[in-house]
Amino acid sequence: MTDILDELHWRGLVAQTTDEAALRSALAEGPVTYYVGFDPTAQSLHVGHMVQLLTMRRLQLAGHRPLALVGGATGLIGDPRPTTERSMQSRDVVAGWVERIRAQIQPFLEFEGPVAARMVNNLDWTGAMSAVDFLRDVGKHFRVGTMLSKDIVARRLRSDEGISYTEFSYQVLQGMDFRELYERHGCTLQLGGNDQWGNLLSGVELIRKTDGTAVHAMTTPLITKADGSKMGKSEGGALWLDPELTSPYAFYQYWVNTADADVVKYLKVFTFRTREEIEALELAVAERPFAREAQRALAGDLTTLVHGQGATDAVVAASQALFGKGELGALDAGTLGSAVAELPSTSARAGDLVVDAFVGSGLVASKAAARRAIAEGGAYVNNVKVTSEEAVFEPTDLLHGRHAVLRRGKRTLAVVVAD
């Protein structure tokens, strides 16, 4: 596909545009300078942000110039949430989060070449602005009736908590960002999630009023599962890009467990695989769903994008080793710890009976059942078959001095944690 807008449509990445025909024409003439804003309201981006990051990358590959805005100013306020006011963080905390998020964005874009990306911070143009200047030079162009009609504002006004003037003013700040980037860098397109549509229009209207120029806005749809629930939520909460908050193993497992009904959509949104590759994987889902080829492709591509090929290789090795297809002892402590983190567990130490651990972990209901599993050849410690009912844990069984993996049969797992 040579038309980037056609590709974005095929991938399901276009929800709303201000004027699609005009945008298509601008992209065809190119290069277009465009921006996405990321507010540091947490110490890490989460998987929902990847929709924007990868859309930015697709546009850059098509010959357009990205600006990645990390909002050191808007992060001090926070985009209004649907129900409650955000808790404000200190300036030092937000500044630290700005740097962390800039580092997470960096690998997704090219910062050299004819369409080199640029990182920008809206604190650069708001930090020294007085309240009077803000109201006179920017606020006068916004009509309260229009601001009140924005969906998120209307919902908050209907809530018990209402909305503060601070969060109500967020849309003015975001509109000012677009104008500043238009004037400083010739930026004529802003991208965002569909829940940002009202904020995007604030900038479009401000530039029209102050500069007499028609610029563009485009939103991507909010990505949901086939059952309507929110994508990117695990049992532990958000799926973070920071490996300290969501381990590469947990990240990989989230995607490899994607439902058949969702996996093709996710391949289009979150990978750079071609139409032909995705259609082949769609056929595999239909004909060989048990093989989970599409899920493994999705998980591998995304884990490599976020954490690198080395992390993906380690995760795949850990997944195989848990089920007897590799050496558990070859896994590093961090990968092994992540791989067993969600397994049923029990505590033990060197010299304790293995049958007690099988019972304590819930793999079997009783010592008699544990002995029967051993007699039938279906009990394993670290993938080594247990052959004696009197077997005890040796110091070497506690990998990295901490974990021993128990398995009953082919796929039922638990973990011993040294006490």
**Binding site as annotated, residues for L-tyrosine:** 35, 170, 174
C-alpha span between 374 and 20 (Å, rounded): 67
Closest CA relative to residue 126, chosen from 163, 198, 75: 75
SS3 343: coil
b/e map of 255-278 (b: 16 or more CB within 10 Å)? bbebeeebbbbbbbbbbebeeeeb
Kind of pairing, strands 118-120 and 345-348? Answer: unpaired
- 153: tokens are 């504002």
**What residues are designated binding site?**
35, 170, 174, 233
At residue 305, φ and ψ (nearest 5 deg) are -60, -45
C-alpha span between 20 and 352 (Å, rounded): 69
CA atoms within 13 A on the CB side of 184: 16
b/e map of 357-395 (b: 16 or more CB within 10 Å)? bbbbbebbeeeeebbebbeeebbbbbbeebeeeeebbee
DSSP state of 241: S
**What residues are designated binding site for ATP?**
233
Q: What is the DSSP string of 93-133?
A: HHHHHHHHHHHHHGGGS--SSTT--EEE-THHHHTT--HHH
Residues 6+ apart with CB under 8 A from 358: 364, 370, 373, 379, 406, 408, 414
Residue the block writes with tokens 């080395």: 310
Q: What is the DSSP string of 257-272?
A: T--HHHHHHHHHHH--
Q: Are 166 and 172 in contact (CB under 8 A)?
A: no
Which residues on adjacent β-strands are paired with residue 191? 36, 218
Residue the block writes with tokens 């800039």: 102
- 270: tokens are 């979150």
SS3 240: strand
Which residues on adjacent β-strands are paired with residue 192? 219
